[in-house]
Structures are given as structure tokens and as C-alpha cells.
Chain A
Amino acid sequence: MQAHERVRFEQLVLPHLNGAANLARWLLRNPADAEDVTQEAMLRAYRFFDQFRGTDARAWLLQIVRNTCYSWLEKHRVMELRELVSEFDEAAFEHPSPNAELLAMQASDRESLSRALEALPARAREVIVLRELEECSYKEIAEITGIPMGTVMSTLSRARRRLQWILTQPEGTGTPKTR
């Protein structure tokens, strides 16, 4: 890679390192693994940087991070992946009980919020992380995840409903063991 390409990489892609690390953290649910995979994804992005033609370097990078995470899960935690990619059954979460008090209490605690997010299926978790923590637009979410633009909204809506449902369960019963 030429020197000016490296400079361009440092200007356009490296600034999104925090977003990359964050996405990996929530997709893998383990900080140590996430650090390794983030590093791998960044180096991969660097290798393929000459193929980047678009304008949205963040979406391009996060797409690589996501793919690297799923490849890693396939290799190391295949059972988890099988569970993760299966469509989640939202029927049970159609109408979260309006237990606002419990919601407020659990949501005020970073630990239970983090556990609730981790209890979401990967498909739901990634759209929540991209929308709420990375503040991506629907268009960017579609680009990163490969979900059709028209499906982003319904995926997000189901994910939020499910998260509300988990947060309104009494502690310990709302977070089904997934590991």
C-alpha cells in the first residue's frame, strides 16, 4: 500500500475504531474476544482498503467488523451461532406488560441493562447496538447488516419490543440462559 493510502486509511477508517470495538463487544458478548476480533477486522479493512469506493467509511468498516465477528463465531462458538441466526419468536413479546416501574428500575442499572442486551438474539442485538449506541440511520443499518432497507424498521421494532419485555421481567427470569 502506498504512503498516501495509509494516510487516507488513518483519516477515514481509523476514526471509527471505537464504533468497531463497540460492535464487536456486543456481537461477541466478551471483551477479550472482541478485542482480538476488532484487531483482525481492522487489519482486514486495511488490506481491502483499496476496494473502498463509497463515501460512508464507517458503514464500510462496521460491515467488515460484523462479518469478521460472525466468521469468528462460526469457528469458535458454532452452537451459539445456530441459536443466534434462527429467527426469534416474537409472539410472546407482542405486548410487553406495561410494568413501567420495573422497567425504570432495571433500566437504571447499567448491569441489568447490559445483561438484557446480551440476552437478545444476535439479529435483534445488532440492530439495537447500531441504532441506539452507534446512532446509525436505517440506510446505514441496511448497508452494514445486509438486511433489506424495508425490513430494518420491522426488525428494530421487534428488537425493541423484546428488550422492553426482558427489562420488565423480574430479575433473573427475563434473561434466558443463552450460553
Chain B
Amino acid sequence: MTHCAQSDTLLHPYLDGELDVVRAAEFEAHLAECAECSAALVGLDQLSRTLRTSQLHAPASASLRAKLIAQLPQEDAPPRRRFSWLWLVPVAAAAILLLAFSVYQRGTSSQIQAQLLDAHLRSLEPGHLMDVISTDQHTVKPWFDGKLDFIPPVHDFADQGFPLAGGRLDVLHGRTVAALVYTRRKHTINLFVWPEQSTLPGGDASGSSRGFNWIRWQSGDFTYYTISDTAPADLAAFMHLIEEQHQRP
């Protein structure tokens, strides 16, 4: 069998999506004629797909994650300075008042925050992520019918790199909410949706805690909260996709 030179130089970059459009098209033309390359491609594609779907990926255990977060040093202590503490008294009094007020204001907000993080962590336990598994928005959306007192907006963003994976019900602050599951490369994204406009103080917000990034915002009649260990920029892009859907007629 004569050995095809193209199989050495172009087959793998083609399979891995590393060729530019022109060279990919040229190689596809070659594939149509070269039995050796097309057979090799089938084998490599099978190998690649098998590796990706075989659950060989070994993520960090929950205990490692917890141990690590506990070990990350706290922020540096401020440098010691010599000064009179007396002038601090009125400042401290004002600060305490302010703090008391903001704690009162933010009480419900941070409780929900903690619950959402818990809900996300819970969902990552084996078997807890999805009750309806489908990449089809027309399957996921009707699944919520009759299980909730509202109809959550469900869209698939596979073309934009955020494929829908499924959904489930979750309970937050005593009410049942829709939880939609998306994926971004290896990362799981939870999107919690519930109809609410006014009870969350602070409005839109984002942040990170324990290695998970989150964004909360309100749009239309719904409050959205999305959380994932994907990068903040990815999560922001995800939010914009949902917002774009809203603006469509």
C-alpha cells in the first residue's frame, strides 16, 4: 500500500479543527479521493469520540476542593501603625449603624445567594443534575408544564457554544424554580429561573464564591441566576445570549 503523505501532515489538524477554512476545504476534496485518508479519519474520529464520552475525565473530588479553599491564605494583615484610637470612636459608631442597616437590607439576598450555591453544588452530585435530559428546547420546555406555576423561557444555544443539556426542578427560599442545565466545554452551567421582580434587593449583581462564578439579573418578568465554574467572560456571554432572546419579538 502506498502511504499517503497528506495523512501525516493534514489528517490530525483537520480532525482537531486546526486548519484554516481554505486548507480544510482542500483536504476535504482530497478525502473524497483518498481511501487511505478517509479510512484513517474514521478510525481517529472513533477513537477521539470514545475518549471524550468514556468518562475518563477525573475531576477534583469535593474533599480536595474544600481542603484547598480552606488552605488558601487569607488576605494579608494590614501593616501596623501607631496612632490614636480615640478618633475611631465616632467613625466606628457610624460604621456599625451602616453595617446594621445593610445587613438588614441584604439578609434575604445573601441567604438566597448561599442557597443558590448549595443548589449548584447539590446538582453536581452524581444523578442530581437533570430530571429531563434533552438538548431539544421543545422537549425541555413542555416538561415543566404542570410542575410549575409559570412557564420558564427555554432556548438552546448550541450554535453559540452553550448547548442545552436538560432541566430539573429545584427549591429556593421555599418556592419551586426551574433549573436549566447548559454546558460550556467541560463546565456545567446551572440557570435558575423564577418569576420575581422586586423582592431581591441590589438588583443585578455578579461575583464569585468558592471557585464558582455567578451572575444574577432581572429581565422581563423573571429573575435569572446563573452559576458555573466556567470563566466570568463565558458566563457574561451566556447572559447576553439569553437577553438577546428576550429582545426578539
Which A residues contact B (CB, under 8 angstroms)? Answer: 1-3, 6-7, 9-12, 14-15, 17-22, 25-26, 31, 34-35, 38-39, 42-43, 46, 57, 98, 100, 103-104, 107-108, 110, 113-114, 117, 128, 131-135, 137-138, 153-154, 156-157, 160, 163-164, 167
B186 adjacent to chain A (CB < 8 Å):
yes
For residue B65, which residues in chain A have a CB less than 8 angstroms away from its CB?
Answer: 17
Find A1's partner among B59, B71, B73, B230 (CB 8 Å cutoff).
B73
For residue A14, which residues in chain B have a CB less than 8 angstroms away from its CB?
Answer: 210-211, 229
B52 adjacent to chain A (CB < 8 Å):
yes
B134 adjacent to chain A (CB < 8 Å):
no
Find B48's partner among A21, A98, A132 (CB 8 Å cutoff).
A132
Find B16's partner among A1, A10, A35, A138 (CB 8 Å cutoff).
A138
Known: A15-B229, A157-B11. A22 touches B208 (CB 8 A): no
Interchain residue pairs A-B with the least CB separation, the first 7 = A14-B211, A21-B60, A18-B59, A25-B58, A3-B75, A132-B51, A15-B229
Known: A39-B67, A117-B56, A160-B12. A15 touches B211 (CB 8 A): yes
Count A-B contacts at CB 8 Å: 130
Interchain CB contact under 8 A, B229 and A113? no
We find that the number of chain B residues with CB closer than 8 angstroms to chain A is: 47
> What are the interface flags for B3-14 relative to A under an 8 Å C-beta threshold, 1 for contact and 0 otherwise?
000001101110
Q: How far is the CB of B117 from chain A (nearest CB, A)?
A: 13
Report whether over half of chain A's contact residues are helix, strand or loop; otherwise say mixed.
helix
Closest to B64 in A: A35
A14 and B66 alpha carbons, distance in the complex (Å): 12
Known: A133-B52, A134-B186, A138-B18. A22 touches B68 (CB 8 A): no
For residue B54, which residues in chain A have a CB less than 8 angstroms away from its CB?
Answer: 107, 110, 113
Which B residues contact A (CB, under 8 angstroms)? Answer: 8-9, 11-13, 16, 18, 39, 43-44, 46-48, 50-52, 54-61, 64-65, 67-68, 71-76, 185-187, 208-213, 229-232
Interchain CB contact under 8 A, B12 and A39? no
Known: A10-B208, A14-B211. A113 touches B76 (CB 8 A): no
For residue B213, which residues in chain A have a CB less than 8 angstroms away from its CB?
Answer: 11, 15
